[in-house]
Chains A and B, each alone.
Chain A
Amino acid sequence: MTAVSDARLLEVRDLSRRFGGGRTLFGVKKPQLTAVGALSLDLQKGETLGIVGESGCGKSTLARLLVGLDRPSAGTIRLDGEDLAAAGRRAVAAKVQYVFQDPVSSLNPRHTIRAILEAPMRHLLGLGKAERARRLDQLIEDVNLRPEFLERYPHEFSGGQAQRIGIARALAADPDVVVLDEPVSALDVSVQAQVLNLLERLKRERGLTYVFISHDLAVVESVSTRVAVMYFGALVETAPARAIFAAPRHPYTRLLIDSAQIPGRQRAPKSGGSGELPDPYNPPPGCAFAPRCSRAEEICGEAMPGLEARSGDSQHHVACFNPIPLAAHS
């Protein structure tokens, strides 16, 4: 275990982000929403951590916290042992970068690609003109774009090309960690593969560590080494990718996997729905999934289960009092 902890790159401890709250001018309480609640997570050097969850589960808020676009209400994020809150945004941005979901709207329509890609080099690294030009050539080649694209404007590019520019921008400052927030979900299916393959190659060549956020389980399975499942602002299960897809322990993970559409598979119609998310302004006590869960017991409605290894596998953590037994999968 010591070898693993040495390679720990990012340490997230009890991270929370709440929106709203406080009081109005007249002392009336404003509603408060917990987007991310007391979340702890470790990121190992060189891994790809896939974070899956449905809309509203807080995965994008977590991503913004990790890159310093948002400040946590409580908790700490440490990169190589250094607290990010103390480091300041520029220092964070030099080490942790972000790839946006919508490639076109993340590029300023009135800047050339050169200006967009040079900005991180100039403002984060303070590189001179000659060095910038040298790196730019390398970067544009790395993401399979032609050098003449540098003088063009974002609207002239297709979605796939624009996303490659977005990736190039994230890599311009030579970060250690790249947080990818749904990087392929806005792209056409035939283009998704190009971008996924490119990400894989860049990771290998540059020794990057990825946090890959997506709602698409098939994509997450194909790129991740480890997967974390988020529900209602908290992690409910983390495990190596193979283990979690082969033998999910949390009933919510099971539901997600069963809901995915697989080409060539036609399911027998199941009666009843999968239920609705709880009201975020009025969260249920205990486990947030309990009202939808078929395995719920009395304790699930009273106490919040901790995320811990509940079987022999020390890598497989699940936040559930009554996890699906491993035997059920064999």
Chain B
Amino acid sequence: MTSAAAAAVTAESQPRRERPSTLALLLNNRLAAAGLVVLGLVVGAALAAPILPLADPNATDPAHRLAPLFAPAHLLGTDALGRDILSRLIWGTRVSLAVGVSASLIAAVVGSAIGLVAGYAGGRSDQILMRLIDLLMAFPYILLALAIVAILGPGLINALYAIAIVNVPFFARNIRGITVGLARREFIDAARLSGKGPLRILWSEILPNVLPTIVITLSTTVGWMILETAGLSFLGLGAQPPQADLGSMLGDGRKVMFTAPTISLVPGLMIFLIVISINLIGDGIRDALDPRLRSGALARPSFRTAIAEPLDRPTAPLDAAATLDVKGLRTDFRMGPEIYHACGGVDLTIAPGQCLGLVGESGSGKSVTAMSLMGLVPSPPGIVTGGTIGFRGEDLATAKNERIRTLRGSAIAHVFQDPLATLHPLFCVGDQIVEAIRAHQPLSRSEAEGKAEELLTLVRIPNPAERMRALPHELSGGLRQRVSIAMALANDPELIIADEPTTALDVTVQADILRLLDTLRHDRKLAVLFITHDFGVVSEIADRVAVMYAGKIVETGPTTAVLADPAHPYTRMLIDCVPVMGEPERRLDAVRGRPPAVNQLPAGCSFAARCPRVEPDCSTGEIVLDEKRNGLQARCLHPLEPGETLA
């Protein structure tokens, strides 16, 4: 969820920062760059072979056979027939590279075509094609290559075919997997509705999206193919005498390995250099092309959001009577040179048994605020730079990691939007609740199971004993969300942070879940921080509401007062732009423009650029959140009076 918030923050950054080019990323990777240099030298030498002053690679000279390294006129010595090794090495590299690269290209084209067709057509065609590919894979590759060469006869071109065929499954399976995923995407349906036929869809819609994968697979297999070529030639099935390639040179050297080890060592070293440089480049290309690796999403998640040193702490004392008392909370995302103030100084107070609705659009910072409380914002890029997070008088921002671990899931529990994503798909829900209980309470398994069943009854799941053994996907969305709530309640929390818990649910189920949460908080004196974008949901459950815009709270007060007569124009517009049931004739007033990017907030009011009541003084200085009328606080210099509408 935070990454979604972060993505939203990035998406809104204007002007768009150009991503570094693939080549720049590749060169930035030192190992890949080194590989590129080595391979460049080797390929350069191989390409230049005809114009280099080399001896004839096939000219024998028995008088100077087995010359050592650095012999006169033979830099790398001669082989058993007196042929110049340097010359054979460079000509042989040329042959090996050509065979390896063309075999890879053939395998890539044929394999990708099979994968594309199988993945897109699906059904029976997919079955037949992939079973053939499986058959090809089930054969030991060297045996298959041998069989192919045995049928076609030894020779370089036949070895090339053999290696290409052997490697077709590798591409076919990879590309099919991606195509299957792409073929179900909506833009493929859209292309069909645009009148494109299957072939055109494969060529113009799917192929551009799988091309990066083909390139990645290609770059990581070329090295392997060159090795295989060498292997076949070493066995005498590839290049035929007197033609040199790296594998046959290795084979020739083997016979005199003890008397003249350099003869086999030199081509061996060359194979090693080529393959390792290609592999380094391949890894570099993969890292540069894979968007997940590029964004650093695969970095190890930290236990807790980083806290800035020194932390900018407000001096006001914490309210020990309140369950939650947040003052001046600031969370930044530091991405490259940009700093996004996702949460820019937020104050929240929730008393026991109270529900605060935190309302805002995507990117307003409401989820980041909630995740910051328990240090759930991933670092990097998230960092808490200021504020105190008071939980019953204790400051969580400066608490030890061990303390946070104890509080998570016990005194402070979360309920998220998508229970299918937060429940483990492979464990039955009973075990997951038991685990949640036993993480914090010294209960035996059977005691915990009893408690878990009680919890399921509490959240009104029919047949709780039976449902304990259900896997998450076997339950409906509403039941799953009830299970999440049961888990949140497992250790008698005092604060529940619910992040859009009903957004993914149907209206009838949504009403049930809201009712359940409402009853639970009254019965158990739970404080609830309820995050949503829906004013209808807010008025159902929240006592107070706080409206967020561009990382700051712009209005807060009792729910009924805020909904009936908001003081801030943004709140008014947000209420007015949503259709309300029973008022079909109401004109929907769209909010003009877009929120400002939180890495370049304007001076003064963030909403000024979109506000119909804007005055010159809105764009200067810091505007404070202060009381406008009975209990209603707004961050606005020209607030709306009760009953006043926007012109």
Give A residues with C-beta under 8 Å from B: 54-55, 67-69, 89-90, 93-94, 97-98, 100, 102, 105-111, 116, 119-120, 122-124, 156, 158, 166, 169-170, 172-173, 188-194, 196-197, 215-219, 221-222, 241-242, 245, 255-267, 269-270, 273-274, 276-277
Q: Are A190 and B508 in contact (CB under 8 A)?
A: no
Which residues of B (60-101) have their CB < 8 Å from a CB of A? none
* From A55, A170, A193, A264, contact of B577 by CB (8 A): A193
Binds A, one of B46-54, B276-284, B443-451, B584-592: B584-592
Is B602 interfacial (CB 8 A cutoff)? no
Q: Is B533 in contact with A189, judged by CB distance below 8 angstroms?
A: yes
Q: What separation, in Å, do the CA atoms of A224 and B331 have in the docked complex?
A: 43
Check A100–B189 contact: CB distance below 8 A. yes
In the bound complex, residues from chain B placing their C-beta under 8 Å from that of A258 are: 511
Measured between C-beta atoms, what is the minimum distance from A145 to chain B in Å? 14
Known: A108-B187, A119-B196, A189-B361. A262 touches B510 (CB 8 A): no
B56 at the binding interface (Cβ < 8 Å): no
Interface string of B530-563 (1 = CB under 8 A from A): 0001111111100000000000000000001001
Known: A120-B193, A158-B594. A261 touches B536 (CB 8 A): yes
Chain B residues with CB below 8 A from A266, complex form:
539-540
> Could you show 8 A-B contacts with beta carbons less than 8 Å apart?
A55-B506, A158-B12, A169-B190, A190-B573, A194-B590, A259-B508, A263-B536, A266-B539
| Given A119-B196, A263-B580, A274-B511, A106-B190 contact (CB < 8 Å) | yes
With A222-B586, A262-B582 as contacts: A119 and B195 at CB distance below 8 Å: yes
Is there an interface contact between B564 and A256, defined as CB atoms closer than 8 Å? no
Q: How far is the CB of A79 from chain B (nearest CB, A)?
A: 15
A93/B194 in contact, CB under 8 A: yes
Which of A105, A190, A241, A257 is the one whose CB lies under 8 Å from B591?
Answer: A190
**B192 on the interface (CB 8 Å rule)?**
yes
> Are A109 and B577 interface neighbours, CB within 8 A?
no
For the complex formed, measure the closest distance between the CB of B467 and the CB atoms of chain A, giving whole angstroms.
12
Chain A residue at smallest Cβ distance from B610? A190
Instruction: Tell yes or no: B205 within 8 A of A by CB.
Output: yes
Interface status of B515 (Cβ within 8 A of chain A):
yes
In the bound assembly, the distance between CA atoms of A241 and B478 in angstroms comes to 28
Q: Write the residues of chain B forming the contact surface with A, with a CB cutoff of 8 angstroms.
A: 11-12, 16, 185-187, 189-196, 200, 204-205, 208-209, 361-362, 460, 476-479, 506-512, 514-515, 518-519, 533-540, 560, 563-564, 573-575, 577-582, 584, 586, 588-591, 594
Residues of chain A within 8 A (CB-CB) of B191 are: 108, 119
Q: Shortest 8 CB-CB distances between A and B: which pairs?
A: A261-B536, A123-B195, A222-B579, A54-B506, A119-B194, A124-B195, A193-B577, A193-B588
In the complex, chain A residues whose CB is within 8 Å of the CB of B460? 273
Q: Is B510 within 8 A of A261, CB to CB?
A: yes
A-B contact count (CB 8 A): 190
Inter-chain contacts of A169 with B (CB < 8 A): 190, 194
In the complex the two chains form, what is the Cα distance from A259 to B536 in whole Å? 11
Instruction: Please name all residues of chain A whose beta carbon is closer than 8 Å to the beta carbon of B560 when the two chains form the complex.
Output: 264
Most buried by A among B196, B200, B588: B588
**Contact: B209 with A110, CB < 8 Å?**
yes
> Contacts A189-B578, A261-B536, A263-B535 hold; do A120 and B195 have CB atoms under 8 A apart?
yes
In contact, B192 and A260 (Cβ under 8 angstroms)? no
How far, in whole Å, are A267 and B539 apart by their CA atoms in the complex? Answer: 9
A197 to chain B: which residues have CB within 8 Å? 588, 590
Known: A100-B189, A119-B194. A263 touches B539 (CB 8 A): yes
On chain B, the residues within 8 Å of A245 by CB distance are 581-582, 584
Alpha-carbon distance A219/B584, docked complex (angstroms): 8
Q: Which residues of B lie under 8 Å from residue A107 when comparing CB positions? A: 187, 190
Q: In the assembled complex, which residues on chain A have CB atoms less than 8 Å from the CB atom of B506?
A: 54-55, 215
A105: which of B185, B518, B537 is its contact (CB, 8 Å)? B185
Query: Across the interface, do B507 and A193 meet the contact criterion of CB distance under 8 Å?
Result: no
Quote the shortest CB–CB distance from A108 to chain B (angstroms): 4
- One of A97, A265, A269 near B539 (C-beta < 8 A): A265
Q: Are B534's CB and A261's CB within 8 A?
A: yes
Name which residue of chain A comes closest to B591, CB basis: A190
- Tell me which residues across on chain A come within 8 A of B519, comparing CB atoms: 269
Kindly report which residue of chain B lies nearest to residue A96, judged by CB atoms. B193
| A190, B589: Cα distance in complex, Å | 9
Say yes or no: A257 contacts B584, CB within 8 Å. Answer: no
* B residues less than 8 Å from A98 (CB atoms): 189-190, 193
* Other A-B pairs beyond A193-B591, A221-B584, 16, CB < 8 Å: A90-B195, A98-B190, A106-B189, A108-B208, A109-B187, A111-B204, A119-B195, A123-B200, A189-B534, A189-B574, A190-B574, A192-B578, A222-B579, A259-B507, A261-B507, A274-B511
| Majority DSSP secondary structure for residues of B touching A | helix
Given contacts A190-B573, A221-B579, A222-B579, contact A260 B507 (CB under 8 A): yes
Contact A54:B361 (CB < 8 A) given known A93-B194, A106-B190? no
Cα–Cα distance between A276 and B482 once the two chains are bound (Å):
13
**Which chain A residues lie closer than 8 Å to B563 at the CB level?**
263-264
CA distance A192 to B580 in the complex (A): 13
Please name all residues of chain A whose beta carbon is closer than 8 Å to the beta carbon of B518 when the two chains form the complex: 269
Q: Evaluate contact between B590 and A193: CB separation under 8 angstroms.
A: yes
CA distance A158 to B11 in the complex (A): 7
A229 shortest CB reach to chain B, Å: 12
In the assembled complex, how far is the CB of residue B643 from the closest CB belonging to chain A, in whole angstroms?
14
A102→B186 contact, CB < 8 A: yes
Please report the C-alpha to C-alpha distance between residue A244 and residue B564 in the assembled complex, in whole angstroms: 27
Which residues of the other chain, B, contact A194 by a CB distance below 8 angstroms?
A: 590
Query: Nearest chain-B residue to A91 (Cβ)?
Result: B195
CB contacts (< 8 Å) of A222 on chain B: these are 579, 584, 586, 588
Quick one: closest A residue to B195, CB to CB? A123
- Nearest CB on A from B291, distance (A): 10
A188 and B362 within 8 A (CB): yes
- Chain A residues near B584: list those with CB within 8 A: 221-222, 241-242, 245
Smallest CB separation, B524 vs chain A (Å): 15
B539, A69: Cβ atoms closer than 8 Å: no
> Smallest CB–CB gap between B123 and chain A, Å?
12
* Complexed CA–CA distance, A205 and B505 (Å): 36
A262 and B580 form a contact (CB under 8 A) = yes
Q: Which residue of B lies closest to A110 (CB)?
A: B208
CB distance from A225 to the nearest CB of B (A): 10
Contact A100 B578, beta carbon cutoff 8 Å: no
CA distance A276 to B476 in the complex (A): 8
Q: Across the interface, which residues of B come within 8 angstroms of A110, CB to CB?
A: 208-209
Contact indicator B193/A54 (Cβ below 8 Å): no
Instruction: Tell me which residues across on chain A come within 8 A of B12, comparing CB atoms.
Output: 158
Chain A residue contacts of B11, Cβ below 8 A? 158
A123 near B196 with CB under 8 A, answer yes
Contacts of B479 in A (CB 8 A): 276
- Nearest-CB distance from A198 to chain B (Å)? 9
* Contact B515–A269 (Cβ < 8 Å): yes
Q: Are A193 and B589 closer than 8 Å at their CB atoms?
A: yes
- Asked, given contacts A108-B205, A269-B515, A273-B460, whether A256 binds B190 with beta carbons under 8 Å apart, the answer is no
State A102–B189 Cα separation when bound (angstroms).
12
- A218, B578: Cβ atoms closer than 8 Å: yes
Report chain A residues within 8 Å CB of B194: 93, 116, 119-120, 123-124, 169, 172-173
With contact pairs A108-B209, A215-B507, A270-B515 given, residues A196 and B579 touching in the complex (Cβ less than 8 Å)? yes
In the complex the two chains form, what is the Cα distance from A94 to B512 in whole Å? 43
Whether B537 contacts A261 by the Cβ 8 Å rule is: yes
Point out which of B12, B192, B518 has the most chain A C-beta atoms below 10 A from its C-beta: B192
- B510 nearest CB across to chain A (Å): 7
Q: What A residues does B192 contact at CB under 8 A?
A: 69, 89, 93
Contact check, B539 vs A261: say whether CB atoms are below 8 A apart. Answer: yes
- CB-CB under 8 A from B187, the residues of chain A are 105-109
Q: Are B588 and A255 in contact (CB under 8 A)?
A: no
Q: Let me know if A69 and B575 touch, CB within 8 A.
A: no
In the bound complex, how far is the Cα of B506 from the Cα of A263, in angstroms?
Answer: 17
Contact B507 A256 (CB under 8 A): yes
Min C-beta distance of A35 to chain B, whole Å:
16
Contacts A188-B362, A190-B591; A259 near B186 (Cβ below 8 A): no
